[in-house]
Structure 1
Amino acid sequence: MSSDRTTHHSPELLLAIDCGTQSVRALVFDRQGQLKARSQVSLEGYFSDQSGWVEQHGRYFWDSLCRACQKLWQQGIQPEQLAGVALTTQRATVIPVDQQGEPIRPAITWMDKREATDTPRLSFWWRAAFKFAGVSGTVKQFMRDAEINWLNQHQPDVMAKTHKFLLLSGYLNYQLSGEFKDSVGAQVGYLPFDYKTHHWAKPSSWKWQACPVKPEHLPELVAVSETLGHITEAAHQQTGLPKGLTIVAAAADKACETLGCGAIKSHQGQISYGTTATFNTLSKHYIEPLRYLPPYPAALPGHYTCEYQIYRGYWMVSWFKQQFAHKEVQQAESSEYSTEQLLDQQAAKIKPGADGLMLQPYWSPGVRYPGPEARGAIIGFNDSHTRAHIYRALLEGISFGLYQGKLKMQKRSGQTIRELFVSGGGAQSQTALQITADVFNLPVKLPHTFETSGLGAAINLAVNRGIYPDHPSAVNVMCHVKQEILPIAENVALYKKMHRNVYQKLYRRLSPLYRQLSELFSRQ
């Protein structure tokens, strides 16, 4: 696959389009990684026809992307200044389309919780192998979660009309390029993708049985940082992007975020405090962060992203705000501070440990870890606790959960994490940053821009266009540390005891009760 590289350095502005859960952002960086222009279009109106469903119209994503691009020209950016464009998106949002690339039904987003009840029956040999390995339950959950199986069961007419089964990244790349292509780095979802070889699975793989879709119904995969296509006349008319502008394959938002932080060495860890909170490290080798959980494709070509997730991570801040922070919401309306800033100020006044209050952050369980039966918990209440204590315990609980992931990854990889980068919306909380430094007992490095996912995509673009010879060279120039937060020894000692003596024991003690609750109260 040609990279369509060029050796001359003009024009040099780099456009990254970041389609997240809450907004689409068009971001223009210079070759030093400095953000020169930013436009944002909020994504609203996710809808649920039934409990647990979370859908969105595919066209809405595309129209929002077009609006975000058009707003750039109002900020003085000239289209001819752009060296190219790279796209990064939310993961695991799927859109079936027809031959013209038009969605046949609304997108099923990554937040959707529907499950298929009529799943494919694997061959005897695969069933025996999974039973022997002790992962039959995990494989069954994979098949229940696969959108393809739900559609085959409930909307076979949709599957019959489907020309291509695309992730959101593939759909938007088609709208831009007119070609059914997607980046290897974007393949995170319930699809027959081989995470070890970074190709569609071999014909003999069990995944084709578990996700019964024909190979011709999937897009062509393009390696990260290679040329994916060029802006079409139709896309030019709708976005204002120059016709023929090079489109470069980037990666999914979390992978780009790690690259945009500059965390590309094996001893470096990266925390994303987003809707899903994650702890990530990169590896040249295929290392499963948890047993039978594959590493995802990295935004650094030829590498893997080992990721530990807290599925509802910093979504819990929004949950807390909606349920308990009505006073702060009203105060924010008449002050210069946001609701989150007001809550952060209150949490900062609470001593580390929240006076013995501890939170287990499994508001939404994982399939593999901690397990599908898991629920959240807050323990240690007494009559002195306030909302501020609960909020601080929430921030500490997320950090404890991610620290647990770090320990598991170090054990599996044999690598010790010595540097820690933090990004995402939650990284704007100074209290959260200090808690993270203290729980991990590592200096926390805050990147110079909050748009690290977009910066990661821009780095892929810069290498493709020949501005830098390789990714380490680009990272060295384009990634900068804005602030470093040092751990406080007294807090480190307290958090170490809390983690060892309480947090590590919580799930084991509570999981039998979680199972009983799951039997009594179905989440269907």
Structure 2
Amino acid sequence: VVNLGRDGKPLRPAITWLDQRRTDQVPPIGPFWRAAFKLARVDGTIDYFRGEAEINWIRAHQPEIWEATDKFLLLSGYLNWRLCGRFADSSGSQVAYLPFDYRRHRWAGRRDWKWQALAVEARMLPELVAPGTQLGTVEGAAADATGIPPGTALFAAAADKACEVLGAGCIEPHVGCLSYGTTATINTTSRRYVEVTPFVPPYPAAIPGAYSTEVQVFRGYWMVNWFKEQFGHHEQMRALLEDVAPEALFDQLAQSVPPGSMGLMLQPYWTPGIRVPGREAKGAIVGFGDVHTRAHVYRAILEGLAYALREGKERIEKRSGVRILELRVSGGGSQSDVAMQLTADIFGLPTARPHVYETSGLGAAIDAAVGLKLYPDFASAVAGMTRVGRVFEPVAQHRAVYDRLYKEVYRRMYRRLQPLYQDIAAITGYPRVS
């Protein structure tokens, strides 16, 4: 998020989405809404929303900055302002703690509780337009600074994950899109408003009027980097000598280990303090024996992420009533054949790699192509601009092993370990769960 003063210049460094600061100093909510939330048993969810909101943190801890704030923008809105001089943003980019109506894809009505829960005023927020709408043209200093020709049309797209889903060609609810990026996610695109987690809304899709049902593993393929930094020094040195990516050598490690990592099971909650599965949750690796090596740990990381996303798939199916029948995988992790195959095996579904692994840019290009009338609609644009690359089919023998490990072990891990996580937090103060 970016705070701008009346001169249109940032007042402080932007706060990124990975930032975990929170505040207890939040605006009061009126008695009607407090009673309603308590009755619906969502008061904890609302308190979490208020405490996590960057708006409230800045107002509480940097009041002089908040007092001087004229506009409060997401990075996309700030870039639009710098490029075309208009305070406008895509409705598909509003993935943040903002007074946004996720059902209607516009700012919340003036009586909505979010205006009480957040310190922001309506005048501070940008105008919203639908994905594929022209925002303006690149002019003046922006053209000079970027080298973009003056007069180039600027179109609204959407948030990175929404564009990634669109660029992967996942526009039907039976197609699941896995993103193997820093945060690992599973998404589907739906024309129906479906809350996968009760009272947590679906994000806006990169298609106007559509919703992106999402379940995320906050520390997703970041875990690969964690492994590289903590345990992969040998591969990093080899990679330099052989002029290859360290991840290619990690694939060789994982390939040397049988499916199921000989019983080594990983629960990938390396970032405590998030709402799902619970704020006390922590990462866990169980099942060590004297046969296990770094290679087993690495494969267990990939398997643990896939187990967590399969759990997300089942939640989406339960809430939406639509079965997911095929998968597309994008993001840096999708370049790994090992990760792709074990994903197909764990989900028991054909798993395709799009023809480009970084599909966010392609999704934004699809929004622009529809906006330019190069295609009559999004279905035509997706058909013309995306295609499936290699498809990985489940291996029956591997699938049987993974299915038992998932159902009989992984799904029971969190509930069994939760009391211990709570005790750890009480004893050490980490993570803070109050």
Fold match (TM-score > 0.5)? yes
Corresponding residue to 1:482 among 383, 389, 405:
389
Label 1:281 to 1:365 Cα distance change in 2 as closer, same or farther (>3 A): farther
1:287 paired with 2:194, answer yes
Q: Secondary structure at the match of 1:108?
A: coil
1:147 aligns with 2:47: no
Match of 1:506 among 410, 413, 418: 413
- Give the Cα separation in 1 of the matches to 2:273 and 2:20: 12
Q: Does the alignment pair 1:404 with 2:314?
A: no
Aligned with residue 363 of structure 1, among 270, 276, 287: 270
Pair 1:378 & 2:285 matched: yes
Cα offsets for 1:382-401 (capped at 9, x unmatched): 11100000000000000000
Q: Secondary structure at 2:186's aligned position in 1?
A: strand
1:230 Cα offset (Å): 1.1
Q: CA deviation at 1:521?
A: 2.6
Q: Secondary structure of the equivalent of 2:213?
A: strand
Number of residue-to-residue matches in the alignment:
431
Task: Give me the whole-angstrom Cα distance separating, in 2, the residues matched to 1:302 and 1:136.
Answer: 29
Give the conservation status (yes or no) of the 8 Å contact 1:289–1:412: yes
2:215 maps to 1:305: no
The whole-number CA distance in structure 2 between the counterparts of 1:423 and 1:485 is 14
Q: Tell me which amino acid in the other structure corresponds to 2:221.
A: Y
Deviation for aligned residue 1:316: 0.7
Tell me the equivalent position of 1:34: none
Partner of 2:299: 392
Segments of 5+ residues of structure 2 without an aligned counterpart are: none
Matches within 5 A, 1:62-211: 94-211=1-118
- CA contact 1:271–1:423 (8 Å) conserved in 2: yes
- Report whether the alignment pairs 1:273 with 2:180: yes
Match of 1:49 in 2: none
Q: In the TM superposition, what whole-angstrom CA distance separates every residue of 1:277-302 from its partner, at most 9, and x where no partner exists?
A: 00000110110011111100001111
SS in 1 for 2:223: helix
List runs of 5+ in structure 1 lacking aligned partners. 1-93
SS at match of 1:484: strand
8 Å CA contact 1:311–1:365 kept in 2: the answer is: no
Query: How far off is 1:258 after superposition?
Result: 0.3
Residue 346 of structure 1 aligns to a residue whose secondary structure is: helix
Percent identity of equivalent pairs: 53
1:241 aligns with 2:138: no
Task: Tell me the SS of whatever aligns to 1:229.
Answer: strand
Report the AA paired with residue 374 of structure 1: A
Q: Is the 8 A contact 2:204 2:212 kept in 1?
A: yes
Alpha carbons 2:164, 2:360 under 8 Å: kept = yes
Counterpart amino acid of residue 331 in structure 2: G
1:451: Cα distance to partner? 2.4
Distance 2:398 2:199 in 1: 35
Q: Please state how far the C-alpha of 1:454 moved relative to its aligned partner.
A: 0.2
Q: Which residue of 1 aligns with 2:254?
A: 347
Whole-Å separation in 2 of the counterparts to 1:297 and 1:489: 37
User: Comparing both structures, which one devotes a greater share of its residues to strand?
Assistant: 1
TM-score by length of 1: 0.81
Alpha-carbon distance in structure 2 between the residues aligned to 1:330 and 1:427: 23
How far the C-alpha of 1:366 sits from its partner, in A, is 6.0
Secondary structure of the 2:242 match is coil
Per the TM alignment, residue 368 of structure 1 is displaced from its structure 2 partner at its CA by 3.1
Structure 1 residue 242 displacement after superposition: 1.6
Could you report, residue by residue, the CA deviation over 1:451-497 in whole angstroms, capped at 9, with x for unpaired residues? 20000000011111111000000101110111111110001111110
Normalised TM-score (structure 2) = 0.98
Match of 1:218 in 2: 125
Cα distance in 1 for partners of 2:118, 2:224 equals 35
1:181 touches 1:220 (CA, 8 Å); kept in 2?
Answer: yes
Counterpart-to-counterpart distance in 2, 1:451 and 1:350: 28
Q: How far does residue 267 in structure 1 lie from its aligned partner after superposition? A: 0.7
Distance in 2, matches of 1:435 and 1:483, equals 14
CA contact (8 A) 2:88 2:126 kept: yes
Structure 2 Cα separation of the partners of residues 273 and 505 of structure 1: 24
Q: Separation in 2 of the partners of 1:365 and 1:287?
A: 26
Deviations 1:363-395 (A, max 9, x none): 114643101111110000011100000000000
In the other structure, the counterpart of 1:463 is: 370
